[in-house]
Structure 1
Amino acid sequence: MHILRHFDDIAPALKGAVYAIGNFDGVHIGHQQVIARTAAIAKELGAPTGVLMFEPHPRQYFFPDQPFFRLMSFRAKTRTLGEIGVDQIAALPFDKRMATMEAEDFVRNVLVEGLGAAHVVVGYDFCFGKGRRGDGALLRRMGEELGFGVTIVDEVKKGGDTYSSTRIRELLAKGDPRGAADLLGHWWTIETHVIKGDQRGRTIGFPTANLSLEGHLEPAFGVYAVKVEIEDGPHKGTYDGVANVGRRPTFDKEDVLLEVHIFGFEGDIYGAHLAVSFIDFLRPEQKFDGLESLKAQIAADSDKARTLLAAL
C-alpha cells in the first residue's frame, strides 16, 4: 500500500486512483460501506482504490486545546484501511495552506492536478474547503467540468443510530464498548507502548502493563474486560485481561492511565507495542479504603472478566 503525504509532484504511476474522501476516524461500518463503494467503482475502472484523508484531523487543527478525541491512531487507521482493501492513501497535511484553500481550488489543485483522481466518493454530509463551503453539489458540478466522476453515499443507519464517529465517542464516554463495537464493526482498540509505572501492581499480586492515553479518546473511567494483543517480541500473541482507565484515586493520582492486568502472563514487556480492545464495562472507577479491599475487588473483577471473555 502506498501512503502519500503531499499532493504536489505525484509520480504519474500513482495518479488516477478512485478516492473515498473523509477522516474515517474509527473506520466504522459507515466508513466501510463508503470504501466498499469506492472499491467497486475502482474495479470497474481498472484503477487503484484510494482514501484521501487529513493529518492531523481538521478538528485538531482548529481546536488544539480540546481534549483528545480520536478513536484510532494514524498507524492503526492506515493498517485497518489496508486490511479492507485500500491500495493507496493520500494523508495530506492539514495546515494553514489547506485550511484557507477555497473549495474550487481544492478540487482543481488537489484532486485533479495533484492526485489525478479518476472518481471521488463522499458521504452525504461531506463539506470541504475554506469555511466548509464546498459540498457534494459543487463536486458534481466541477466533476462534469473537469472530467472526474462523483458518487455521494447516502446516510447509513443501524436501527435508530447513524454510523458516525461522534455517536461512537458518545457510547464510549457512557461506558458502552459493546454499543460502540456494534457501530464500528470491530472492538474499539487503543494501540500504544507500555511505559514504566510505579510497579505497585506487582506488590499486590496483580502486575499491570501501564499505557499512556495521550492522543486517544478517554472512555468512561472504570474497569473493563479486555483483549490484549502483544504485536512483537517473544511474547507476541493475544491474551485476555482486565483493565482500569482513570486516575487511581486509592493512591491519590491525578494523571490518567490505562493499566492492564494480563491473565496468567509473566514477562517483561516494557516498550512493547500493545493493542488493547475494550469488550465490556465492569464497573466505574472507585476509591478503596486500603490495599486488601482493592485486592479483593481486582480478584472479583478478574473473575467476571474471565467469564465474559470466555463467552465470546
Structure 2
Amino acid sequence: MELIRGLHNLRDKHRGCVATIGNFDGVHLGHQKVLQQVKQKAAEMGLPSVVIIFEPQPREFFAGSDAPPRLTRFDEKVRLLRDQGIDRVLCLTFNARLRSMSAQAFVDELLLNGLHVRHFVVGDDFRFGCDRTGDYAMLEATGAAHDFSVENTHTYLINEQRVSSTLVRETLMRGDFELAEQLLGRPYRVTGRVQHGNKLGRQLGVPTANVRMHRFRCPLQGVYTVRARFCGHDLEAICNVGVRPTINGRLPVLEVHLFDWDQDLYGQLMQVEFLHFLRPEKRFDGLDALKTQIFSDIETARLWFADSTGQNSLAEVN
C-alpha cells in the first residue's frame, strides 16, 4: 500500500481511482463495510482504491485537547487500512488553509485535479468545505458534469445500533471489551515502542515497560489486565493508563508490568491487548500505599487470568 502525504505529492500516476473520505478512527466493522464497497467498485472498474484521511482529525483541529480521544494512532490506522487491502491512503493536513477552503475548491483541487476520481463512496450526510457548505447533492451534480459517480455508504448495525467510532469509544470506556471486539472485528489494542521512564516501578519492585504514546490519548483510563505481544512473545500482564496522580504526573502514559519477565525491552515495539478492567486510577497517600495497591492489583490480575484459563479449558473439555 502507498501512503501519500499531502496534495502536493500527488503525481500523474495517482489520477484515476475509486475513493472514499473520512477519519476512519478505529477502522471498525462499519468502516470495513465502506472499504469493501470501495474495493469492489475499484475491482469492477480496474482502478486503484484510495482512502482520504486527515491529520490531525478535524475535531482535534477545532477542539484541541477537548476532542474525543482517538481509538487508533495514525500509524496504527494506516496499518489497519493496509490490512484491509486498500491500495493508497492520501493523508491531508487539516490546517487553517484546508479549513477555509470552499466546497467548490475542495472538489476541484482534490477530487478533479488531484485524484481525478471516477467513483466516490461517501455518506449522504457528508459535509465538506468552509462552513460545511458542500453536501452529497453537490457531489452528485459535480459528478454528473465531470464523469464520476457517487455512491452512498452502507450502514452496519450490531444489536440494532449503528457501528461508529463514538459507539466503540463509549463501549471501551464502560470496560465492555467483548462488545468492543464485536464492533471492531478484533480485540482493542494499542501499539507503541517501549521507552525509558522514571524507573519508579523498578524502585517499587514492579518494573514496567513504558509504551510511548506521543500525542495519542487513549480512550481508556485505569488499571487493566492485558496481553503484551512483542518479538514473538505473548505474555500475561497488567497495565495502568493515566497520568499517575500519586507522583503528580501530567501527561498520560501506558505502563505495562509483564508477569514473569525481567529482560530489557527498551526500543521494542509492543502491542497491548486490553482484556478486563480492574479499577480506576486514583491518587494514593504516598508510595508505600501505591506499592501495596500495585501488588494487590497484580494478585487480582493473576487470579483473573487463572479463572479465565480455567473457564476456557472447561469449555474445551465440554
Answer whether TM exceeds 0.5 for this pair.
Answer: yes
Give the Cα separation in 2 of the matches to 1:282 and 1:269: 25
Please tell me the residue identity of whatever aligns with 2:112.
Answer: V
The total of aligned residue pairs comes to 308
Consecutive unaligned residues of structure 1, counting only runs of 5 or more, are: none
Corresponding residue number in structure 2 for 1:30: 30
1:272 pairs with one of 265, 268, 275: 268
Cα root mean square deviation, aligned? 2.4
Alpha-carbon offset, residue 272 of structure 1:
2.1
How high is the TM-score relative to the length of structure 1? 0.89
Distance 1:290 1:215, change over 3 A: closer
Query: 1:241·1:306 contact (CA, 8 Å) conserved in 2?
Result: no
Query: 2:225·2:275 contact (CA, 8 Å) conserved in 1?
Result: yes
Consecutive unaligned residues of structure 2, counting only runs of 5 or more, are: 314-318
Please tell me the residue identity of whatever aligns with 2:266.
Answer: Y
Give the Cα separation in 2 of the matches to 1:264 and 1:292: 19
Corresponding residue number in structure 2 for 1:171: 171
Alpha-carbon offset, residue 33 of structure 1:
0.3
Please tell me the residue identity of whatever aligns with 1:237.
Answer: H
Give the Cα separation in 2 of the matches to 1:82 and 1:91: 14
Query: 1:53·1:91 contact (CA, 8 Å) conserved in 2?
Result: yes
Q: Percent identity?
A: 36
Alpha-carbon offset, residue 83 of structure 1:
0.7
Alpha-carbon offset, residue 203 of structure 1:
4.6
Query: 2:278·2:297 contact (CA, 8 Å) conserved in 1?
Result: no
Q: Does 1:116 align with 2:116?
A: yes
Query: 1:191·1:276 contact (CA, 8 Å) conserved in 2?
Result: yes
Corresponding residue number in structure 1 for 2:279: 283
Corresponding residue number in structure 2 for 1:55: 55
Corresponding residue number in structure 2 for 1:297: 297
Tell me the secondary structure at the aligned position of residue 30 of structure 2: helix
Give the Cα separation in 2 of the matches to 1:293 and 1:111: 56
Give the Cα separation in 2 of the matches to 1:309 and 1:60: 40
Tell me the secondary structure at the aligned position of residue 197 of structure 1: coil
Query: 1:19·1:117 contact (CA, 8 Å) conserved in 2?
Result: yes
Corresponding residue number in structure 2 for 1:261: 257
Q: Does 1:238 align with 2:251?
A: no
Query: 1:242·1:305 contact (CA, 8 Å) conserved in 2?
Result: no
Please tell me the residue identity of whatever aligns with 2:93.
Answer: P
Distance 1:268 1:30, change over 3 A: same
Correspondences of 1:217-236 after superposition (within 5 Å): 217-230=217-230, 235-236=231-232
Please tell me the residue identity of whatever aligns with 2:61.
Answer: Y
Please tell me the residue identity of whatever aligns with 1:122.
Answer: V
Alpha-carbon offset, residue 287 of structure 1:
5.5
Corresponding residue number in structure 2 for 1:161: 161
Please tell me the residue identity of whatever aligns with 1:181.
Answer: E
Please tell me the residue identity of whatever aligns with 1:276.
Answer: V
Structure with more helix by fraction: 2
